[in-house]
Amino acid sequence: MSGELDAAEREGRQVVIECRAVRSPRWTARSLELLGRTLQEAGHSDQARAAFEQSLQIYTDLNPHDADRVRRQLPSAS
């Protein structure tokens, strides 16, 4: 399972880079949220929190519903 999580983390980080490169804030936020979940599953709490916080920062300006969803995930990332 660890190998799968490592691959998912690498791919998730790459997707975040690509979404930023094409200047897509909505998909950058979503990718960061999913990366946060992957990092959380892998036991990387600090990195998960950072990804969720970056996602939340973007979503706060875009969509309150999405921001609330990410905000609810923050406590479980610690």
pTM for this predicted structure:
0.90
Mean pLDDT confidence for 4-21: 95
| pLDDT tens-place string over residues 25-48 | 999 999 999 999 999 999 999 999
Backbone angles phi, psi at 19, to 5 degrees: -65, -40
According to DSSP, residue 23 is labeled T
Can you give 38-76 as a three-state secondary structure string? Answer: HHHHCCCHHHHHHHHHHHHHHHHHHCHHHHHHHHHHHHH
What per-residue confidence (pLDDT) applies to 76? 56
